[in-house]
Each structure stands twice: as C-alpha cells, then as structure tokens.
Amino acid sequence: MPTMTMIEAIRDAHDVMMARDDNVVVFGEDVGYFGGVFRCTRGLQQKYGRARCFDTPINESGIVGTAIGMAAYGLRPCIEIQFADYMYPAYDQLVSEAARLRHRSANDFAAPVTVRMPTGGGIFGAQTHSQSPEALFTHVCGLKTVVPSNPYDAKGLLISAIECDDPVIFLEPKRLYNGPFDGHHDRPVVPWAKHPLSEVPEGHYSVPLGVASIRRPGTALTVLAYGTMVYVAEAAAAESGIDAEIIDLRTLLPLDTDTIAASVEKTRRCVIVHEATRTSGFGAELSATVQEMCFYHLEAPIIRVTGWDTPYPHAQEWAYFPGPQRVGEAFRRVMEA
Amino acid sequence: MSDHPRLSLHVPEPEFRPGAKPDFSGVTIPRAGTVRRPPVDTAPEEIRDLAYSIIRVLNRAGEAVGPWADQLSDEALQAGLKTMMKVRAYDTRMQMAQRQGKTSFYMQCTGEEAIACAFQMALEPGDMNFPTYRQQGLLIASGYPLVDMMCQIYSNSRDPMKGRQLPVMYSSKAHGFFSISGNLGTQYPQAVGWAMASAIKGDTCIAAGWIGDGSTAESDFHSALVFASTYKAPVVLNIVNNQWAISTFQGIARGGSGTFAARGHGFGIPALRVDGNDYLAVYAVARWAIERARRNLGPTLIEYVTYRAAAHSTSDDPAAYRPKEESEAWPLGDPVERLKNHLIVKKLWSEERHTQAVAEVEAEVIAAQKEAESYGTLHTGPKASGRDMFVDVFKEMPPHLRRQRQEAGY
C-alpha cells in the first residue's frame, strides 16, 4: 500500500471524487494552476480542466457564497479557504446561509459544500495563520465539523465530506501536513512514511463522519483530542508512563458520544486537550458532555489543557502551544485527584 | 497644534424630512424614448452613459415610444396589468391580516410591482431568481399559488416552510425562486455561483440576483460583482433603488458615486438604469440583459429607479423620517396607473373594465385568503408542528438532535 503525507492524501481524495462525480468542483485562492499554497490541489486543474478547478479572487465571502449558489444548482463544491484565520469574511455565508438553507427552505434547497481550511499553529504563523476556530463552527446548527489527524483518515473523511449532503467544515491541522507532530518542536521532523497511518489505499474508500477512533487503548484516564493534539497526547502518555486511553474525535459534530462515554466510564478520569483558546472552546462542550453522561463514574475533576486565552503569538509560539509537558502534568493531576 | 485647517465629517442628509414640502423638480428625468438601445453585445465601455440616464418607454400621454418599445403583445400587456393588480391586492390583504393579528409581520411592495412582475415575464422555465423580501411579484407572476404564499405568511399547518421562516421568506425551486434570507445581500454572490454552475455544466439557464439600494453597501455586493466580472457569469444583477432603506435615504449607501448602476463600471460590467415604474421599460431592459446572459456575453447590472410607496414593513412608520407627501410627489408615477393608461390609449382597456378587473382580482385574493385561513393562522387553528423544528437541520437527524427532540416532547 502506498504511503502518503496528509497533503498527498487530501489531494488524492479530491482526485478520486472529481473522477467519480462530474459535479465536484474545486476552487479557492491559488488552488488552480499552482495547486494551493500547501499544494493540496496540485495537478487537479491540469487533469480536470479550468472549469472544475480554478483560482478565485481573494474574497472568502464570494468563495463560500458562490459555492452555495453552485450547490443550490446541483454541484458539489469542495472549496479551500487558504487559512482558517481568513474564514471570517465568509462567516455570514456559512452561518446564515450554508448552515440554514435546508431548514429554512423546508428541504427545497440544500448546500452540500465542503469547506477545507488549514488550521492550528506550530509553523511560526503568528496570530493570523495559526488559529483553531473549530468552536465557531460546532456552535452553528446545520454545519458538520471534521478534523482529521492522519493521512488515512484525511482521505477517507474528505471523501465522506464531499459525499455528504450537508455543509461540512474540514479543518486540516497544518502542522501535520508533512509529518506527525508530538509537540517537541526542538526535535527533527518525523516524515509520514514512518507512520502506519500514512498507508493510504488507492481509489475510493471512506471514513464515516461522526465516528471517533481510539488511538491508544488504556485504563488510567481518557484523553479527548483531535488533530495535532492526538500526537501530543501520545507523547505525554509515553513520557509520563501513565496508561492513557487516547480518543481521536475526528468529527466534532456530530460528536461520537458513545465512544467517549464508554471510555470515561471505564477509566473514570478525563483530560481534554485542544490547541484553541480555552474560554468557550470546544473543550467546554466536551467537558459538559462528559459531566452530563458520566458524572457518577468520575473520580476526578475533568481537566482541560488548551492554548491560552491570548492571540497566537509568534516568538512565544511554544509557550502558547499546549505541548507534552503541560499535557503530562494534567495526566498526573487527574491521577492524583 | 497643526497649521492645517480642522477636518470635518460629511454625513449625507436627504433633501426632505417630515414637515418639508417635497419638490423633485430639480431631478433630471429623461423624456421617454430618448435613451438609445445598443446591441446586446456592445462593449461595456461604449455604454457607460446608460448608467447615468433612465431608460423609459411610457410617456405622459400613455404611449410607448422609442427604441425600447414594442416588445410585448397586447395579451401580454393585459396579463401584466392584471398581475400587478393581483400583487397589490395580495399586499393589501396580507397587510390587513397582520393588523388583525393573524400573523406577526408583513412587507408590501407598493409602487414597485412593475419591476418583479415584468422581469419574471422575461425569464424562461429553469432560470433562477435569488430575490430579496420585496419580490413577491416574481412568485405571483410565475403562477405560484396565492394560497401557498398566504399559508407561509400565516405559518399555518400548510405552510410550505413548515412554520420556520419569518413571513414573506418564501422558497420555490420549481418556480425559480431561491429561498429568501433575512441577512441582506447574501443572495447576490449565490446568484453568481448558481450562474457559474450553469456555465460549468454547459446548461442554458441563467440566474438573476436581486438587492436593494441600501444593501449594495454590503461586502457581498462587491463579492458578487468581482466574481461575476471575473468569470463572466450568466447572471442579471438587479438593484431595486426604492430610495429608502428603512429610514435611511439612498444617499447613505450610494455615497459620492453618481448612481448605483455606475458601480458596475469599475468591474467592466455593462450597467443600465431604468424607470422601475414603467412596466414596458423594465421588460425591455430585462430582456436585453437576459439575452446577454443567455448568449454567454456575461453579467449585466440594472438599477431600477423606483419609490417605496408604503412602509418598509409592518414594523415601520415612515412618517417619522420622510414627508407624507413624498410618495405622491415622486416624479415617476404609479406603475399600475401608467400601464393601465397605456392600455386605455391602445384601446385594450377601459375604466369600466378596470373597475371590473379590480373586483375580480380582489375576489380571487379573498377566496385564496379564506382557504389559507381554513388551514390556520399564526395564533389560531392548526399550525406547524414543534416536531418540524428538528427536521431538515441536517438531511438525516444526528443522534444529539434526536435526543433533544425527545427531550422537547416531540
């Protein structure tokens, strides 16, 4: 089986879907001739022509707005917002339009649009190229929100997203594009080829939306993580020697509460990890959900390890990033409680 | 302190506020029939003057004159008049229904009927409008049942929108009428996207976007024009300039630019300005722009100059911000009266026939209202189910919504 990076897997998902379905169109800033600033759409314009993969003006509201119109016509646009940080001009189109269209028209129209955007930090992108805005989407009824953490899932989830009849926000952790990253920024980069989840089947397969994956079975505590933080949690488990069960949520909405509840009922302890700022972050929703479902099984307070409530800094990136040391400390605290 | 003179902020004000006597004698209105009609494939830079003029067909005597005249058959003209009358009667009844407490909200299009009614007649089946909340004329002209519209207004048990939407936010894919949003301007880039999709698929259908003078200030207006210009999308971009955005006069959105139509020039989009109260002029201009789109010549921007004769909505009182006499003083007249006079001049109509038609239209609307009310109104009779609130958030209901629906008792 071929190994792929996240970028290659995402590109391959586009290729598979564009070949299977003429209604799939791909566009965004720099995605056409050049193939995207992260190269996730490389070669698609050459293969499928300019009418199916093209560059757009720098206008996120226009990108999402035209995609909604195309979806209403019957196409299946898969569009790229160059950085999740650039999404804000399109927020009205996502919240008031894409997310609401099926409901407000009583199923007369729908917006099956996939909106891809690189998310998270760890590349010295500072505050406008590092944000993790997932909670801004999970709070919106009518949107599905997906965060893959490895090439296998990225391809299978992106295929599911494009095939989904509802709008899907597809957040790609940019620090994972070229290799798994455990938060030890001072160590050499590990390439994807050395990771088992870089083995990606050729052709069509899908990973279902709304299903989490247990990345590391364990008995001592449950870690709820997604994207880059899955690797940070793995590093923290290895370095602390604490037998953590690590759940990669993969889809934040709909959330796989069955997998979460089963694990927390077993381990009786829960640590939630995300890179986004803490207050009103998705961790708050996870914490409330665990409390509602598992309160009488819990033996310790739920702990959140997150980015600080500050803009994502440049020089202080690694002081902001919730690395293995902070996560490991949370493990110890939750075990001592 | 600097030696420079002190700066001051310019905030535009309308000429007439309550208490003032409106006088539009200073407004330049070209005589009917005097604006040229270029071929549809004319380069945009050769017709820039048309964004600063007003295309008009019906003169004061009720005659159709000039190069934009003679596009409609006698039967089509009569049908057009009756459609506008039906829209007006519908508005009157629904406005009254709101005042009687049968619904929460309503929006009339009084004085603007010609724009939507005539435009719809220039479209073909399969084309798609992306309307605002004041284009009920598109639906009525397309033959959409009045009863269904009223059921939406009443949010009753037969409401096609299942009680989810504010009154007047209709949707009908079958009638080429995209779901209306309460967020202004969002539909403009969507219309462009729909048109791009039609071009991507090698289809023959075109799209029409609608926006008001006030909402042209939204960034989505700019987004739509950029994309329409770049991809030469087969779309007609309509601006209904009815002079008032709630209490804000059009000068606040227009700023220093001469006209709203002229906004198209920076994008290389041909722009026309037309008398929106002239059914024949609206139809002729719509046909011109639709033909351009259909022939893959790209987008057209049209500004319809009109006047919002009624309140913005049932929640608005225009007497608080504009003179009561302004509507009467408005120099472009009433679209229903003008088409009626034209038909009389052409000996296709008479005062007697008009009186009879008013009664017929009213009877039709009242009968529809009676039927609609038999399915309930907002506060009485059968209504949309609470269960419906949870349906269509997604195509298939995810587990968390199923749990919440149970919790809510549905």
Q: What would the pLDDT profile of B1-14 be if each residue is shown by its tens digit? A: 799 999 999 999 99
In a domain, B3, yes or no: no
In a domain, B231, yes or no: yes
Q: How many CB atoms lie within 10 A of CB B374?
A: 14
In a domain, B333, yes or no: yes
Do B250 and B150 belong together in one domain?
yes
Q: How far is CA A113 from the centre of its chain?
A: 16
CB contact under 8 A, A69 and B191: yes
What is the pLDDT of chain B when averaged over all its residues?
97
Average pLDDT of the residues in A6-31: 98
Q: Which amino acid is at B306?
A: T
Do B374 and B389 belong together in one domain?
no
Split at pLDDT 50, 70, 90, the class of B385 is confident
Catalytic residues of B: 308, 312, 321
Nearest CA in chain A to B230: A57
Q: What's the pLDDT score for residue B383?
A: 82
Nearest CA in chain B to A210: B398
Cβ contacts (< 8 Å) between A68 and chain B: which residues?
A: 189-190, 193
Q: What's the pLDDT score for residue A186?
A: 94
Task: Give the best residue of B179, B187, B218, B389 to mutate against chain A (max A CB count within 10 A).
Answer: B179
Q: How many distinct structural domains can be found in chain B?
A: 2
In a domain, B109, yes or no: yes
Do B295 and B394 belong together in one domain?
no
Q: What's the pLDDT score for residue B27?
A: 86
CATH of the domain at B127: 3.40.50.970
Q: How many CB atoms lie within 10 A of CB B19?
A: 7
What is the pLDDT of chain A when averaged over all its residues?
98
CB contact under 8 A, A105 and B189: no
Do B240 and B369 belong together in one domain?
yes
Packing angle between helix B146-154 and helix B351-374, nearest 10 degrees?
50
| B118 half-sphere exposure, CB direction, 13 A CA radius | 28
DSSP state string for B18-36: TTS----TTS--PPTT-S-
Minimum distance, in Å, between the CA of residue A78 and any CA atom of chain B: 13
Do B263 and B175 belong together in one domain?
yes
Please tell me which of the candidates B164, B199, B398 has its beta carbon nearest to residue A210. Answer: B398
Please tell me which of the candidates B164, B190, B219 has its beta carbon nearest to residue A72. Answer: B190
Residue B202 has pLDDT above 80, yes or no: yes
Percent of chain B with pLDDT over 90: 96
Do B136 and B222 belong together in one domain?
yes
Q: How far is CA A188 from CA A136, A210, A230, B134, B248, in A?
A: 33, 34, 18, 62, 61
Q: How big is the A-B interface in CB pairs under 8 Å?
A: 145
Do B393 and B335 belong together in one domain?
no
Which structural domain, as residue segments, surrounds residue B301? 44-379
Largest CA distance in chain A: 60
Q: What's the pLDDT score for residue A31?
A: 98
Do B361 and B390 belong together in one domain?
no
Q: What's the pLDDT score for residue A72?
A: 98
Residues 6+ apart with CB under 8 A from B337: none
Do B297 and B176 belong together in one domain?
yes
Domains recognised in chain A with CATH numbers:
6-198 (3.40.50.970), 213-336 (3.40.50.920)
ipTM above 0.95, yes or no: yes
CB contact under 8 A, A75 and B201: yes
Q: What's the pLDDT score for residue B255?
A: 93
Please tell me which of the candidates B172, B188, B191 has its beta carbon nearest to residue A108. Answer: B172
Residue B319 has pLDDT above 80, yes or no: yes
Which DSSP state fits B270? -
Percent of chain B with pLDDT over 70: 100
Contact A176, A224 (CB under 8 A): no
Minimum distance, in Å, between the CA of residue B115 and any CA atom of chain A: 23
Q: What's the pLDDT score for residue B384?
A: 80
Average pLDDT of the residues in B75-84: 98
Task: Give the best residue of A68, A103, A163 to mutate against chain B (max B CB count within 10 A).
Answer: A103
Minimum distance, in Å, between the CA of residue A92 and any CA atom of chain B: 8
Q: What would the pLDDT profile of A231-286 be if each residue is shown by its tens digit? A: 999 999 999 999 999 999 999 999 999 999 999 999 999 999 999 999 999 999 99
Minimum distance, in Å, between the CA of residue B103 and any CA atom of chain A: 18
Both tokens of A292, joined, read: 């509602």
Task: Give the best residue of B133, B157, B203, B394 to mutate against chain A (max A CB count within 10 A).
Answer: B394
In a domain, B144, yes or no: yes
In a domain, B33, yes or no: no
Do B410 and B348 belong together in one domain?
no
The residues facing B88 across adjacent strands are none
Residue A1 has pLDDT above 90, yes or no: no
**Chain A residues with a Cβ under 8 Å from any Cβ in chain B:** 25, 51-52, 56-57, 59, 61-62, 65-70, 72-75, 89, 92-93, 96-97, 100-110, 141-142, 144, 165-166, 210, 253-255, 257
Do B226 and B206 belong together in one domain?
yes
Please tell me which of the candidates B193, B392, B398 has its beta carbon nearest to residue A69. Answer: B193
CB contact under 8 A, A142 and B164: no
Residue B257 has pLDDT above 90, yes or no: no
Do B394 and B351 belong together in one domain?
no
